[in-house]
Structure 1
Amino acid sequence: MGVRLMVVDDHRLLAEALASALKLRGHRVLAAAAPTAGAAELVVSRAPEVCLMGTAAPDEPGAFDPIVRIRRDRPQVAVLVLGPVPNPRGIAAAFAAGACGYVRHDERIEGVERAIVKARAGDAAVAPGLLQGAFAELLNPAVQPDDEGQRLLRMLTPREIEVLVRVAEGEDTRLIAAGMGIAPSTARTHVQRVLMKLGVGSRLEAAALAARTGLLDRAAVSVLPDGPKHGPPGD
């Protein structure tokens, strides 16, 4: 029996071509939508068994935000990412957002179909080669003479590093202030300084940038084992 599918891609022609190929193989394609910006609402409303979501830039901040919305509102929908070979953090970000698989955009239709079937069955669908490459790079990272995460981290004070960690954990201004023992206005000022130094316009962008560059990993080890360092109230 065919799978109830939805294909989403910023490139409408690619989405429609893939949808047509899958229809010929007996699958029920509910829609071939573009762009991905409005994908979440459409997928939530149509509730397919599997959603194939194309992305041209898996390493970009916010690339997988639609998946977060889909998994929150329609947890029964299995989302497969279709895109270029990302760095290990790109694959990790896709799974962290709730994707159940990652398929190369140059994969043969047979490979795409196998991934769809695995996704519907609740299994992870990632080509062994992608996983091997990801693990190899994570275990033996290439030396980066101008590491972006380290460069950004050097721009922040210890206090601002703690604020960034708390922002990434989803704390609002009130919680940040309470956790650090400072006034809400002071916490708000620290947050604005972090955003300004990182060159981003929102807390979500700051968290995404920190995760993408490895800044968050480095920030986590910049605090004491028992928790972030605290200064006197009002700091």
Structure 2
Amino acid sequence: MGVRLMVVDDHRLLAEALASALKLRGHRVLAAAAPAAGAADLVVSRAPEVCLLGTAAPAEPGAFDPVVKIRRERPQIAVLVLGPVPSPRGIAAAFAAGACGYVRHDERIEGVERAIMKARAGEVAVAPGLLQSAFDALLHPEVEPDDEGRRLLHLLTRREVEVLARVAEGEDTRLIAAGMGIAPSTARTHVQRVLMKLGVGSRLEAAALAARTGLLDHALPLLGPRHTGAD
């Protein structure tokens, strides 16, 4: 028995071509071209068993808002996202929004049909490799530079942050010591502790890491006017 389907994509030719191919395989299909903003309302009003919902940019913020709305208003509709090869974050976002599967635009019609049948049966419909990458992204999220900068900042004392700031400005041990009112040997010890805590092997690497992660930008409230003497 065929599945009652909707194929919704803002590219009419793609939607109609896929709908025609699925009709030839015995499914009851309605093709529709609609921008993302109106896609959810269209699907909710027709209430198919399965919806193939196209997206051109799965990694973009809000790409799966229509999925959220469909699942909220018609939870019985199984939503399959139809899109390009996704990043792990893209496919993870699709599942987080409530999609039950992800089908690549270049999938063969047999693969699309298998995904549809799985979706109707309440199963996850996605290639194993894509599913694994999504789980990996959820379990081991990438650290954003902003987050990394804050994490590194917490490893350093206030004095070490000032030392790092001076290192980033190109000051050598003598200048660091003079500017902070400490002995050169003490300045050298502070620099070595900073390098060790940041996990780098040179002052140049420390400066580059601080610049890449925005560490010193986060440290501005701590730095203020340059300090002298001990903390």
Pair 1:151-2:146 in alignment: yes
Whichever residue aligns with residue 75 of structure 1, its letter is P
TM-score by length of structure 2 reads 0.60
**Total equivalences in the alignment:** 150
Deviation digits for residues 141-196 of structure 1 (CA, Å, limit 9, x no counterpart) = 78xxxx7x3237869xxxxxxxxxxxxxxxxxxxxxxxxxxxxxxxxxxxxxxxxx
Structure 2 counterpart of 1:101, one-letter code: G
| Corresponding residue of 2:97 | 97
Structure 2: 5+ residue stretches without partners = 151-231
Kindly provide the CA deviation profile for residues 58-86 of structure 1, in whole angstroms up to 9, marking residues without a partner as x: 00000000011100110000000011121
Q: Cα deviations across residues 20-47 of structure 1 (Å, max 9, x unaligned)?
A: 1111111001332322321111111100
Q: Which residue of 1 aligns with 2:106?
A: 106
Letter in 1 for 2:120: R
CA distance in structure 2 between the aligned counterparts of 1:32 and 1:17, rounded to whole angstroms? 11
Q: Which amino acid aligns with 2:48?
A: P
1:106-129 residue CA offsets vs partner (Å, 9 max, x unmatched): 100000000000000000101012
Q: C-alpha offsets along residues 88-115 of structure 1, whole Å, 9 cap, x if unaligned?
A: 1111110111100011111000000000
Structure 1 gap ranges (5+): 156-235
**TM-score, normalising length: structure 1:** 0.59
Is 1:3 matched up with 2:18? no
**Which has the larger Rg?**
2
Amino acid of the residue matched to residue 61 of structure 2?
P
Q: Secondary structure at the match of 1:126?
A: coil
Separation in 2, partners of 1:68, 1:27: 25
Q: CA deviation at 1:137?
A: 6.0
Kindly, what percent of the aligned residue pairs are identical? 83
Question: Deviating runs (4+, > 4 A) in structure 1?
Answer: 135-142, 152-155
Matches within 5 A, 1:169-188: none
Tell me how large the CA RMSD over aligned residues is.
2.2
Amino acid at match of 2:37: A
Q: For 1:54-203, what aligned pairs fall within 5 Å after superposition?
A: 54-135=54-135, 149-151=144-146
* SS in structure 1 of the partner of residue 79 of structure 2: strand
- Give, in whole Å, the separation in 2 of the partners of 1:127 and 1:84: 13
